[in-house]
């Protein structure tokens, strides 16, 4: 139902996005999108690029005023770094950086200059994904579905926020330098990032996205490519540097017995309820009415101030990977990108079930 394309290079003039399939009649205030773009730029541990960029979305099509028309929504986010970079001669890159697409990308596209690969593989592209996810969140909010991300781990420092209310989590994540709700570990996470910087190294971590108010019946058990868990995993795994995806407590339950792992069904007010949510709101690839929980593991940033061993492909001789201006830790930013991708997949599944050409038509079907 919903699809999007992004285009643009990290140091090209602009990022472009087209989101197709949004119904007419949805209010899309630019400042709500920009708020998410600012969140993606933030978080302790980011590199110099974020001091240059002031990400802002320009809508180029698909809106009348602030309201969607039903046509494709075209968006642009300018790269301020472009002006600065194009004045400098960029040397040809022939030493592939470990952990990047450089070596395989240049072989695949028969490129002599690996910089061409770097420019498109870069996570700068995620700015547009966040804008698209932010639009998806606007649609979901109309139907009481709220998607929110936070950081659970950075460099092995683990947060414990299980006892906090949703409101406390929201407030604390917003105030936190590393988007973590557990105030007790925030300083330790910041210190771990500073230590990594001093050690000329980098860090990864784990993020979690939750969606509340999700109706029963999004996704389907009937065919592999309609299962919502599979669709979420693909979308979240497609984010640069994400190397593991977990639905609910997927990895923990693998170490439990069946009777402890599954969420018992108990009588409730009007319909059966659950005494736990280890399945993360999904059974058989269908939402079951519990909060949706998706976790993602991010590897440490690949570009390290301590040079990684590599090879100059021109000479075949050993060489050190070059340092490109880079983040030390981008786990907080990745949480915002994961939130965007989960929102996109949920909005897509929501439109499959309740879709219509306009918001008014969807409301009739949804029953609000």
Least gap, CB of 116 to ligand FMN (angstroms)? 14
Range 61-120, binding ligand FMN (CB under 6 A): 99-101
Q: Is 121 in the site for ligand FMN (CB under 6 A)?
A: yes
Out of 303, 321, 335, 354, the only residue in the binding site for ligand FMN (CB under 6 A) is 303
Q: Is 236 in the site for ligand FMN (CB under 6 A)?
A: no
Out of 18, 57, 77, 123, the only residue in the binding site for ligand FMN (CB under 6 A) is 123
Nearest to 22 by CA among 366, 351, 361: 351
Range 142-201, binding ligand FMN (CB under 6 A): none
Least gap, CB of 146 to ligand FMN (angstroms)? 22
Q: Is 291 in the site for ligand FMN (CB under 6 A)?
A: no
Q: For residue 223, what are its two tokens?
A: 């065919």
**Which among 80-88, 130-138, 152-160, 235-243 is the span making contact with ligand FMN, rule CB under 6 A?**
235-243
Q: Is 10 in the site for ligand FMN (CB under 6 A)?
A: no
Contact pattern from residue 20 through residue 59 relative to ligand FMN, giving x for each residue in contact according to CB under 6 A and a dash for the rest = ---------------------------x------------
Q: Is 301 in the site for ligand FMN (CB under 6 A)?
A: yes
Q: Is 327 in the site for ligand FMN (CB under 6 A)?
A: yes
Q: Is 330 in the site for ligand FMN (CB under 6 A)?
A: yes
Quickly tell me which residue has 């019946």 as its tokens: 217
C-beta closer to ligand FMN: residue 12 or 285: 12
Least gap, CB of 8 to ligand FMN (angstroms)? 15
Q: Is 239 in the site for ligand FMN (CB under 6 A)?
A: yes
Out of 98, 326, 352, 356, the only residue in the binding site for ligand FMN (CB under 6 A) is 326
Out of 41, 126, 288, 310, the only residue in the binding site for ligand FMN (CB under 6 A) is 126
C-beta closer to ligand FMN: residue 22 or 342: 342
C-beta closer to ligand FMN: residue 48 or 144: 48
Least gap, CB of 245 to ligand FMN (angstroms)? 12
Least gap, CB of 12 to ligand FMN (angstroms)? 16
In this structure, how many other beta carbons lie within 10 angstroms of the beta carbon of residue 125? Answer: 20
Counting other chains too, the contacts that 165-172 makes at CB distance below 8 Å and 24 or more residues apart are 166/212
Site for ligand FMN, rule CB under 6 A: 47, 99-101, 121-123, 126, 239-241, 299, 301-303, 326-327, 330, 333-334, 337
């Amino acid at each position: 139902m919903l699809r999007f394309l992004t285009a643009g290079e990290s140091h090209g003039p602009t990022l472009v996005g087209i989101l197709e399939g949004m119904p007419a009649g949805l209010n899309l205030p630019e400042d709500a999108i920009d708020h998410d773009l600012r969140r993606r730029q933030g978080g302790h541990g980011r590199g110099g690029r974020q001091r240059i960029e002031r990400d802002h979305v320009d809508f180029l099509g698909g809106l009348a005023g602030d309201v969607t028309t039903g046509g494709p929504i075209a968006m642009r986010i300018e790269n301020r770094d472009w002006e600065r970079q194009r004045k400098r001669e960029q040397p040809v890159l022939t030493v592939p950086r470990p952990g990047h697409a450089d070596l395989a990308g240049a072989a695949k596209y028969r490129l002599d200059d690996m910089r061409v690969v770097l420019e498109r593989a870069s996570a700068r592209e995620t700015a547009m994904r966040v804008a698209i996810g932010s639009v998806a969140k606007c649609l979901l909010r109309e139907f009481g579905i709220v998607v929110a991300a936070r950081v659970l781990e950075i460099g092995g420092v683990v947060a414990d926020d299980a006892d906090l209310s949703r409101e406390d989590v929201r407030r604390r994540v917003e105030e936190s330098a590393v988007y973590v709700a557990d105030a007790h570990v925030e300083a330790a996470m910041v210190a771990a990032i500073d230590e990594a910087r001093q050690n000329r190294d980098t860090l990864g971590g784990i993020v979690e996205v939750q969606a509340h108010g999700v109706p029963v019946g999004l996704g389907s058990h009937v065919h592999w490519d309609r299962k919502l868990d599979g669709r979420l995993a693909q979308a979240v795994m497609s984010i640069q540097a994400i190397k593991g995806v977990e639905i609910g407590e997927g990895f923990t339950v693998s170490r439990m017995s069946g009777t402890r792992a599954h969420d018992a069904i108990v009588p409730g007010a009007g319909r059966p309820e659950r005494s736990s949510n280890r399945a993360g709101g999904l059974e058989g690839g269908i939402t079951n009415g519990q909060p949706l929980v998706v976790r993602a593991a991010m590897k440490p940033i690949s570009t390290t101030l301590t040079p990684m061993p590599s090879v100059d492909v021109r000479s075949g001789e050993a060489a050190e990977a070059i340092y490109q201006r880079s983040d030390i830790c981008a786990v907080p930013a990745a949480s915002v990108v994961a939130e965007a991708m989960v929102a996109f997949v949920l909005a897509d599944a929501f439109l499959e079930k309740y879709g219509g050409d306009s918001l008014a038509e969807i409301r009739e079907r949804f029953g609000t």
